[in-house]
Structure formats: structure tokens, C-alpha cells
């Protein structure tokens, strides 16, 4: 490596962010980038470790360890350290379709598996990824070259989230004619409507989509495949169809009073906020959805945190976040060794803002909703909460969370946002294409393959592997593109 003992000379630097006081006043990105000196120093910390677990992308104990795209992290960091930024971008773009997205929303699986992080702090790989891709855009290096020769083959991609976009990008480069269908009014899937603008500026999606359009990819929005257009019609026009519709069926809470007004699924809420902001060029701030309300968020993951930050910006009176599981340890336990994903307490940007605004962490652990209470008009007014305890299930032998008798308590609630995860593919889509699904409603394929039970129908992303991360969705999109290309052409050079 460029600086053999750089990890001993420099400390890890965190990404710069705008202060809570400033950023909660708007919906613009709160991340700031490293300056040149900081990016070089952080790249210098990358060790000559021999076995770069950061780029492994393997499942350990049911969790992804290292980058599923297999970005060659040490090579990229070495080029950044040497100031060879264009080469760093070329190296990154070989394995990665959209670094500008993951550099903002990825939990940095590469950093969790960093060898430097075993005894010290991990290399700031995610932040340097952003430095590299933004340098490339600034210098006009990022281009989608229009193929000089077309294959004569046509591919339809259903869904314009990260997996669909990645598949379309590679198949277009190969010379196939690609059309992407999106049921919403704008391209991007959950990148567009499931992630708030302050976390991922939607102009970044538009910037990339414009390049893809210039290179020949066609996008059809406001088209709900499975309802507006069917399988037979698509297979008549296209040689292959890729389902990249996501795992968008939300998990619900089945408790008495669920029909009360004021209970929403998290992604529906986030989508409405983002759409109103985009439609009005950020002039229509939807304060009416939240202002002055007692908000309860069910779920402690990324979506729950995004709801928390959004509600703070929309003037919530108070926000409480319910988590079924116990509070994680602040440090790794012996049962969770490196390089497994660290199951430790994380204070994300939404929790930081809540602590600043309300003076406390909003999370309440080992708690769930027992009953929704409504007023005479059917509007939500209170919740009956119950504490949970861990108990061994006699049938399965697994530890499960069960209600603790006598622990019920009532709290005020005007708005409940359910961010409890997703169950899998939406049934009307899988029914329309007559594809087999598993018990989790993911579309079935052979192991490490992407062809469904339907003729010429492939699947990728969350619809294939279940709810997961943007970086895994991109990896899925790139992989299905290779399989489709092989089946169409007899070989692939993707």
C-alpha cells in the first residue's frame, strides 16, 4: 500500500454533517464531504492486510460481511492516497453501478469487515467512495456510452429501484434494447420515495437516469405492470422480462382498533412527503401531516429512523420509537465476533436529532402495541403498550419475544407509523406472471440463479432475496443482467 503504517499515524475521521439545529429546518442533504487532505489521510489508513475482508461479500451467521459488489477497496484507497482520482473512479466503476447512492445510504458493510477495525477504527471507505464518484461527476468522467451495435434483443425491466436500474444499465451497455417500467410518476423506486431527500438528494437519481436515457434506455412511468399491462403482452414484445418490483408488501400490526384513523405504513407516509416536496419544488412542506402531533413509530430500522427525522422536520410535538427487541450492547459481544456485521447500538441521524430536540433517545425497547384506542369519530387517540420478555418457544426451540403479564400502560397517540419491515413480493404481480414463490412470497429460483419458473421471466433484488440493502439490490441487478445476457447471446462479457 501507499503508506504502510498510515493506520498507525492517522485516526479515523467521520463524515462531516450539518448541525442538528440547522438541518432539521429543511429537507436538503445534511452530509458534507471530506476535503482532499482528509480523503488522502483516510485512504492512507487502509492496511496491507493480506486478506481484504472488506470486499468479500459473503454471508456469515445469516448476515452479509463485506461488500456484496466486491469493490476492490484496497486498490481504490491506494489510488486515492496517491491522488490518482480518475483511476480510482475507473477502478470503482468496474464493479459498481451507482456509487453516488450507496455512498449516502449504505450502512458500509465494507467498513464493518475492515481488518483495521478489528483492533482500532475502520477505514472511512464509504466517505472516500463519495469523494471519488463526486470528483468523477464534477470532471465529466461519468458517462453511459451508447452502444455502437445493437443485438436485436429486447428486455423489459419491471421496477426502477436500484436492482432494476443496475440490470438496465448493464444490458443496455451490452447492446440490448432495454425498457424500464415504473408504476409511480418518477423513476427510482424506494430510492426515490422510500428514502427521504435529506438522506439522498433526488437530483442524484435524475442525474444518473438522464445519462441512461441518453445512452438508449427507455423509461415508462405511471405504468403498473400486472394491472395496466400483462405478462402475455410483454412476452410478445420482449425477449426477456426481469421482475425487479421489490418486497413492497408491508408487515402490519394485528391489534384491536387497527382500523382507527391515523395509522399509516411508513413507506406510504415517506412517499407522500417526498412527492409533495418534489411536486412543489420544496415549497409545499406537508406540516399538516405531523405538526403538533404525538407520533409513535413502530420499528427501529432504517425506515423507522427516516420517519423519525421526517416527523421532526414536520413539527411533531413528540416522537416515540418502539422496538420489540432488547437494547443492543454498545460493544461487540463474544457471540458476535469480527468480521460479522456488528450487532451493536447505533445512534443514527434521526435519533441524534431527537436527542437534540426532545432531550432523549426516542427508542423504547422490548415493547409493542397491544391495542389502538380511538375516539367517537374513529380517530386514534391512545395506545395500550405492553412490555415483552424473551422466552424459549417449546415447538421450535427458538427464543421469542412474548408479552409480560401486567405490564400494560397507556400513552397518547395521534399518528402511528408502522415501519416493521416487509413480507415480500406483492401478490398481484406474482399472480400476473404466474411465477412460483416461497413461504416468504419471494420469487423462487435455483440457488445462485435468477430465472423464475416462468418462461423468459427473471427476478432480482428484494423480490428475489427479500427485504435487504441498496448495495445488495445493485449486486442482484448486475448478476441478473449477466444471466439474461448469457441466455440471450450464448455467452456474456458483462
Convert the pLDDT of each residue in 74-124 to its tens digit: 999 999 999 999 999 999 999 999 999 999 999 999 999 999 999 899 999
Q: Which of 420, 451, 480 is the last residue of a domain?
A: 420
CATH code of the domain in which 186 resides: 3.50.50.60
> Last residue of some domain: 368, 399, 420?
420
Dist CA 19 CA 34 (whole Å): 16
Percentage of the chain surpassing pLDDT 90? 94
Domain assignment of residue 427, given as a range: 154-248+423-489
Same domain, 338 and 243: no
* pLDDT confidence tier of residue 159, bands split at 50, 70 and 90: very high
pLDDT at 2 over 80: no
Q: What is the rounded CA–CA span in Å between residue 439 and residue 425?
A: 11
Are residue 78 and residue 188 in the same domain, yes or no?
A: no
298, 417 in Cβ contact below 8 A? yes
Q: Does 224 fall in a domain?
A: yes
pTM greater than 0.75 (yes/no): yes
| Res 406: pLDDT | 95
End position of a domain, from candidates 108, 138, 168: 138
**pLDDT higher than 90, residue 145:** no
* Whether pLDDT at 488 is above 90: yes
Q: What's the whole-number average pLDDT of the chain?
A: 96
Same domain? For 115 and 195 the reply is no
282 and 203 within one domain: no
Q: Say if residue 150 is exposed, middle or buried (CB neighbours under 10 Å; 0-12, 13-18, 19+).
A: middle
**Cis (ω within 30 of 0) for the bond into 354?**
no
pLDDT in tens, 303-323: 999 999 999 999 999 999 999
Q: Take residue 423 and report the three cell numbers written for it.
A: 413480507
- Does 393 score more than 90 pLDDT? no
Whether 127 and 163 map to the same domain: the answer is no
Give how many domains the chain has, as a whole number.
Answer: 3
Q: Look up the CATH number of the domain holding residue 110.
A: 1.10.1060.10
| DSSP helix/strand/coil, 381 | strand
Residue 103's pLDDT is: 97
Kindly state whether residue 1 falls inside one of the protein's structural domains: no
pLDDT of residue 399: 85
pLDDT at 396: 81
Q: Does residue 264 sit in the same domain as residue 378? A: yes
In a domain, 188, yes or no: yes
Give the pLDDT confidence of 211-246 residue by residue, as tens digits: 999 999 999 999 999 999 999 999 999 999 999 999
Do 35 and 131 belong to one domain? yes
Domain contains 144: no
Above 70 in pLDDT, residue 1?
no
Residue 494, burial from CB neighbour count under 10 angstroms (0-12, 13-18, 19+):
middle
* Residue 149 forms part of a structural domain: no
> CB–CB of 190/105 below 8 Å?
no
Regarding whether 401 and 279 lie in a shared domain, the answer is yes
Same domain, 431 and 414: no
Q: How far is CA 324 from CA 115, 197, 403, in A?
A: 32, 28, 10
Residues pairing with 263 in the sheet: 416
Amino acid at each position: 500500500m501507499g503508506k504502510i503504517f498510515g493506520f498507525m499515524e492517522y485516526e479515523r475521521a467521520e463524515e462531516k454533517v450539518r448541525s442538528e439545529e440547522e438541518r432539521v429546518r429543511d429537507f436538503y442533504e445534511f452530509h458534507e464531504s471530506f476535503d482532499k487532505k482528509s480523503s488522502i489521510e483516510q485512504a492512507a489508513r487502509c492496511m496491507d492486510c493480506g486478506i481484504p475482508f472488506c470486499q468479500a461479500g459473503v454471508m456469515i451467521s445469516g448476515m452479509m460481511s463485506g461488500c456484496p459488489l466486491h469493490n476492490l477497496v484496497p486498490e481504490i484507497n491506494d489510488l486515492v492516497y496517491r491522488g490518482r482520482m480518475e483511476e480510482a473512479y475507473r477502478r470503482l466503476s468496474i464493479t459498481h453501478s451507482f456509487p453516488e447512492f450507496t455512498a449516502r445510504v449504505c450502512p458500509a458493510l465494507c467498513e464493518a469487515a475492515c481488518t483495521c477495525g478489528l483492533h482500532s477504527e475502520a477505514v472511512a471507505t464509504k466517505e472516500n467512495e463519495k469523494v471519488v464518484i463526486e470528483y468523477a461527476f464534477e470532471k465529466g468522467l461519468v458517462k453511459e456510452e451508447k452502444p455502437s451495435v445493437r443485438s436485436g434483443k429486447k428486455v423489459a425491466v419491471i421496477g426502477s429501484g436500484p436492482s432494476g436500474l443496475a440490470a438496465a444499465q448493464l444490458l443496455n451497455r451490452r447492446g440490448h434494447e432495454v425498457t424500464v417500467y415504473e408504476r409511480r410518476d418518477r423513476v427510482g423506486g424506494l430510492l426515490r420515495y422510500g428514502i427521504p431527500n435529506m438522506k439522498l438528494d433526488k437530483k442524484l437519481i435524475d442525474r444518473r437516469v438522464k445519462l441512461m436515457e441518453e445512452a438508449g434506455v427507455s423509461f415508462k412511468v405511471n405504468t403498473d405492470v400486472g394491472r395496466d399491462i400483462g405478462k402475455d403482452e410483454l412476452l410478445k414484445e420482449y425477449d426477456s422480462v426481469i421482475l425487479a418490483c421489490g418486497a413492497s408488501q408491508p408487515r402490519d400490526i394485528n391489534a384491536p382498533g387497527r382500523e382507527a384513523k391515523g395509522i399509516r405504513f411508513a413507506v406510504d407516509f415517506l412517499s407522500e412527503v417526498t412527492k409533495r416536496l418534489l411536486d412543489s419544488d420544496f415549497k409545499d412542506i406537508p406540516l399538516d401531516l405531523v405538526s403538533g402531533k404525538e407520533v409513535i413509530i413502530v420499528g427501529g430500522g432504517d425506515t423507522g429512523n427516516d420517519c423519525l427525522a421526517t416527523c421532526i422536520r414536520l413539527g411533531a410535538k413528540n416522537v416515540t420509537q418502539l422496538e420489540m427487541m432488547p437494547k443492543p450492547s454498545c460493544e461487540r459481544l463474544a457471540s458476535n465476533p469480527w468480521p460479522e456485521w456488528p450487532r451493536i447500538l447505533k445512534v443514527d441521524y434521526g435519533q441524534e436529532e431527537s436527542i437534540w430536540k426532545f432531550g432523549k433517545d426516542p427508542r423504547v425497547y422490548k415493547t409493542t402495541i397491544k391495542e389502538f384506542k380511538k375516539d367517537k369519530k374513529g380517530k386514534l387517540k391512545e395506545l395500550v403498550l405492553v412490555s415483552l420478555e424473551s422466552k424459549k418457544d417449546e415447538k421450535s426451540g427458538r427464543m421469542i419475544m412474548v408479552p409480560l403479564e401486567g405490564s400494560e400502560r397507556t400513552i397518547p397517540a395521534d399518528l402511528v407509523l408502522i415501519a416493521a419491515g416487509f413480507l415480500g413480493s406483492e401478490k398481484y404481480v406474482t399472480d400476473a406472471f404466474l411465477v412460483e414463490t416461497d413461504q416468504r412470497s419471494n420469487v423462487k429460483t435455483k440457488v445462485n440463479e435468477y430465472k423464475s419458473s416462468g418462461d423468459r421471466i427473471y427476478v432480482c433484488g428484494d423480490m428475489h432475496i427479500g427485504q435487504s440493502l441498496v448495495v445488495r439490490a445493485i449486486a442482484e441487478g448486475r448478476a441478473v443482467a449477466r444471466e439474461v445476457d448469457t441466455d440471450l447471446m450464448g455467452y456474456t462479457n458483462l
